[in-house]
Every structure is written in C-alpha cells, then in structure tokens.
C-alpha cells in the first residue's frame, strides 16, 4: 500500500535552485517536483497535503560532526542518541554522522559495535558513523579497508590530545596511505597537541587556571602548523584530506593555498567559531567554561576569514561538533584547572537557524546555506542524493521553514539535554515548522511527532566531492 503526501505552495530551495514548486512524496521518497499551479502539480492526489505558503521547503540538514554520549575527560557528553537526535530534528537536521571511537589497544570493530549498540533503536532521525582511529597498527589498517566497504568511509585522526586520541606523523601517514588506496577520507583534528601540552603545563605553573587560558595556550599558530603538516602528509600519501572544526584564519589560509594548488583538501567550520569568540571564554565566574572546546574560540577578528572561506568555497561544510557537557557537574570538573574542563559545545539544534541568520545578515545566499549545511556534507560523506537535496528518488527528508518567524535561543526552550545554551538570548529570524524524515512527520507545526527508533543506520559510499 502506498502513501502519498504533497507539499504545496512553498519555495523549494536546494544548493542549485530556488523554485516555487509542489513536491510529491510517495513511500518515504520524493517522486516528483512540479511548478506550483501547473496542470502537472494540480493533477496530483495524495492522502495528505501540507500547505507551505510563504515558507521555504528545504532538504533536511546533514550534520556531519556530532558526539552523542562521547566519553571525554572522565565524563560523557550529556546528549544520548535519543535526546540528541530529537533535538537535531527540532532544529531541522535530519541526518547526523557521529563518531564511533576506537579505544587504544582495541579494534575498530569493537568501537563500531559499541557505537551501533548505543544508537540502535534510539534515534529519531537517520544516522551514520565515522570512525575515530586512536591506534594505527597493521590490524587497524586492514580493518579500515573492511569498514570502507561496509559504509564507514571516513576516519578521524587527532594531532592533539597526546595519550588519548593522538596519532604521531608516522601513524597519520600510514592511515593516509591506506585511505589513498581504499577510498576512505581522513578527517583531521589539526592542532599541535605536543606543543599545546607544554604551554598548558607552563600556564598552570604560573597560576593561570581560568577558562580563558584554554584559548591562549591552544594558539592559532599551532592550529595553522598542524593544518599545514596534515596537508603535506596527505600530499605525500596522495590522499584527500578534510580538516575538521577550523577556527583560525591562519588555518583557513593553509587550506586555501592547498586548494589553489589543486589538492583535494577540504575544510569544515562550526557555528561557534562564526558567532562566538574569546570574549565568551573570558566571561567571569567560571561561565567561560561553557565555551571551552577544541579547536578553541578565537578573537572576533578571525570570523571574517571564516565567512570569506565559506563564500569562496575554501571552507565547504558547517557542522556543529555537537559535544554537550552540563555546566553543573561536568564543566565544573575544571574549576581551578582549565585543562580539566571537558571540551565541547552544544549546538546540533541551533545550526540551521544560525546559518539562516547568516543569510539574513548577508554573509551567504539561501542556496549557499543549503549547500554548506545539507548538500555538501551529504556529498563529502557519501550520502548524496539520498540525503542533502530535494529531487526525484531522494529520501523525503524535508523541512518546512518559516523564514519570518522570530525566536530567542535559550536553555528554557531548547531540546538538547544540557543545562545552558551557548547562544542564550540570541535573537534569530527563521524557525523550523515541520520536519519529515523519509516522509514521516517528526516535527509537525512545532510539536514533536516522531519516535525513538524511527531513525535508521545509513551506510555511506566514499567521498563524492573529490576534484
Ligand atoms: O571540543 C571538542 N571539539 N570536543 C569534541 C571532540 C573533538 O575534538 O571534536
Ligand atoms: Zn576534534
Ligand atoms: Zn582559493
Ligand atoms: Zn568533534
């Protein structure tokens, strides 16, 4: 038995087009688009009609960087797959790619199985996994090949966090050489963690313990140096490279230079680097701890380079790096020692709205909004055109977005399982009204109508964004 829904009278926006069109959905997929008012569109009959007059009809957001339940610094990120994917849906994100973690001394498989078990049956929206590789050895390298074949086609490595996730240059080069052969994409946390640890020790010895010193020791130059080194290692290996959570203008410059040379080097930034700064890290009474993440927030002057990178396509993706820790009991672990503050910010619910505000503010066009938040992350990580666009054959992951609604971001109204908002009091124009995941209503006129377990694991193909 087929079930049909038609969305009428909206402005359909994809990365390439803006058209006044009706959208026909059947059995969870888009089957046709037709200009509103034309005989083709008028001829459609459906069990259900959604009127999108005055609204945008956009592809569901694809957040390619989240950490639900991540173990970090002796605690766990406070959103579970259930609460985090529900919050994502409220914010118009309908697919997440989370990070499964290999523990040192364990296999990739064990890590992936553990993350599958956490997510299975709990997600409100579809999900996929990248793999964090913490321990490169002969076995791990072989496992990478198998994972790529199974649909885990990207691997995160860390030049930061010695003793935890850290890989040295030799381990990085080996993983890159392997990915050059098997089609995987290396995602790099590019900060010189060995040098940062020296500066941390020296700062603490001077009695510099407040959250703002987190930003001072994790220097922009050490992000730029690591970014440069990662690019050169990838070039030696002949592998593509995706640099995650880029925050320093000097790192953007490294990526831009590599791209001008024609290399397959890509950059992601996050809303916190576009909208927040070291001013937040310096907030008194330990409030600055709410803004501790790595790479760190930078002085405001860096934001112009990030916006420019997004406009020139030197940066291609905006993900959240959603990794929430409550202020009470979690961020507080670092009172008296900033290096013990768990790293990460909440944001999975805020990304689509903040980037729409960037459209309102004139930083990017509406199509670029969809490109950096939906289409390119889907292409980059092998989910396109199932995810990231509205086209015949695509999953009916669709957001009805009210571009005129006014909202104030706040912990009082958000749905993330965390006791503060990084954007408390921020006024933005635009709000999600209705969300369909594979045609099923997850949010209906600002009420949650989804369920844990609707979301399914989604295997991915290899990167579809190579030059
Ligand atoms: O501070 C951050 N970004 N926490 C999450 C882990 C990571 O490095 O992405
Ligand atoms: Zn990272
Ligand atoms: Zn360029
Ligand atoms: Zn992350």
Which residue ranges make up each domain of the chain? 60-380
Cα–Cα distances in Å, from 35 out to 40, 51, 434? Answer: 8, 15, 21
Question: Complex ipTM above 0.90?
Answer: yes
Q: Which residues form the pocket of ligand 1, taking CB atoms under 6 Å from any ligand atom?
A: 67, 189, 245, 293-294, 321, 323, 343-344
Structure tokens belonging to residue 388: 């990231």
Looking at all shown ligands, the one closest to residue 259's CA atom is: 3
Q: What is the pLDDT of residue 235?
A: 98
Q: What is the pLDDT of residue 9?
A: 98
Give the residue, by CA position, lying nearest to ligand 1 atom 9: 321
CA–CA distance, 98 with 81 (Å, rounded to integer): 9
Q: What is the pLDDT of residue 2?
A: 72
CA 78 – ligand 2 centroid, Å: 17
Q: Please state the atom number of ligand 1 nearest to the C-alpha of residue 65.
A: 9
139 sits in the region (left: phi over 0; alpha: psi -120 to 50; else beta) called: alpha
Instruction: Give pLDDT tens digits along the chain (467 positions).
Output: 579 999 999 999 999 999 999 999 999 999 999 999 999 999 999 999 999 999 999 999 999 999 999 999 999 999 999 999 999 999 999 999 999 999 999 999 999 999 999 999 999 999 999 999 999 999 999 999 999 999 999 999 999 999 999 999 999 999 999 999 999 999 999 999 999 999 999 999 999 999 999 999 999 999 999 999 999 999 999 999 999 999 999 999 999 999 999 999 999 999 999 999 999 999 999 999 999 999 999 999 999 999 999 999 999 999 999 999 999 999 999 999 999 999 999 999 999 999 999 999 999 999 999 999 999 999 999 999 999 999 999 999 999 999 999 999 999 999 999 999 999 999 999 999 999 999 999 999 999 999 999 999 999 999 999 98
Q: What is the pLDDT of residue 1?
A: 54
Query: 289 — phi, psi (to 5°)?
Result: -60, -25
User: What CATH number belongs to 60-380?
Assistant: 3.20.20.140
Give the residue, by CA position, lying nearest to ligand 1 atom 3: 294
Q: Are 13 and 58 in contact (CB under 8 A)?
A: yes
Q: What is the pTM of this model?
A: 0.98
CA proximity to 25, closest of 62, 63, 61, 60: 60
CA 270 – ligand 4 centroid, Å: 10
- Residue 117 neighbours by CB distance under 10 Å: 10
CA proximity to 86, closest of 99, 100, 113, 68: 68
């Amino acid at each position: 038995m087929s079930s049909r829904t038609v969305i009428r009278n909206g402005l359909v926006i994809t990365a390439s087009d803006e058209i006044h069109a009706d959208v026909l959905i059947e059995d969870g997929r888009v089957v046709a688009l037709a200009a509103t008012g034309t005989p083709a569109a008028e001829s459609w009959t459906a069990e259900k009609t959604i009127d999108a007059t005055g609204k945008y009809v956009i592809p569901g957001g694809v957040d390619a960087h989240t950490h639900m339940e991540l173990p970090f610094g002796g605690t766990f990120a406070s959103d579970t797959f259930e609460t985090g994917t529900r919050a994502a849906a409220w914010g118009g994100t309908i697919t997440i790619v989370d990070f499964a973690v290999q523990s040192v001394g364990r296999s990739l498989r064990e890590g992936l199985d553990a993350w599958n078990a956490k997510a299975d049956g709990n997600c409100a929206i579809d999900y996929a996994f990248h793999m964090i590789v913490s321990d490169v050895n002969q076995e791990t390298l072989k496992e990478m090949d198998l994972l790529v074949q199974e649909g885990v086609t990207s691997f995160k490595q860390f030049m930061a966090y010695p003793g935890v996730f850290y890989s040295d240059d030799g381990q990085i080069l080996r993983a890159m050489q392997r990915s050059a052969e098997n089609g995987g994409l290396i995602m790099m946390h590019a900060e010189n963690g060995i040098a940062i640890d020296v500066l941390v020790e020296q700062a603490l010895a001077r009695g510099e313990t407040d959250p703002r010193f987190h930003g001072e020791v994790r220097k922009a130059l050490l992000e730029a140096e690591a970014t440069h080194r990662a690019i050169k290692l990838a070039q030696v290996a002949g592998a593509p490279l995706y640099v995650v959570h880029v925050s320093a203008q000097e790192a953007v410059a490294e990526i831009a230079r590599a791209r001008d040379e024609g290399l397959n080097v890509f950059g992601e930034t996050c809303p916190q680097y576009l909208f927040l700064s070291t001013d937040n890290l310096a907030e008194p009474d330990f409030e600055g701890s709410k803004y501790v993440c790595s790479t760190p927030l930078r002085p405001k002057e860096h934001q112009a380079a990030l916006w420019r990178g997004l406009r020139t396509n030197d940066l291609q993706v905006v993900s959240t790096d959603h990794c929430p820790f409550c202020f009470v009991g979690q961020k507080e672990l670092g009172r008296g020692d900033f290096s013990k503050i768990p790293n990460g910010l909440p944001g999975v619910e805020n990304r689509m709205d903040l980037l729409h505000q960037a459209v309102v503010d004139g930083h990017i066009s509406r199509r670029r909004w969809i490109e950096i938040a939906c289409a390119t992350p889907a292409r980059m990580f092998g989910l396109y055109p199932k995810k990231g666009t509205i086209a015949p054959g695509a999953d009916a992951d669709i957001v009805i977005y009210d571009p005129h609604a006014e909202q104030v971001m706040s912990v009082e109204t958000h749905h993330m399982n965390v006791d503060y908002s990084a954007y408390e009091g921020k006024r933005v124009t635009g709000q999600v009204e209705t969300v369909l995941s594979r045609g099923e209503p997850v949010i209906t006129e600002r009420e949650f109508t989804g369920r844990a377990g609707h979301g399914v694991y989604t295997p991915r193909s290899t990167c579809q964004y190579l030059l």
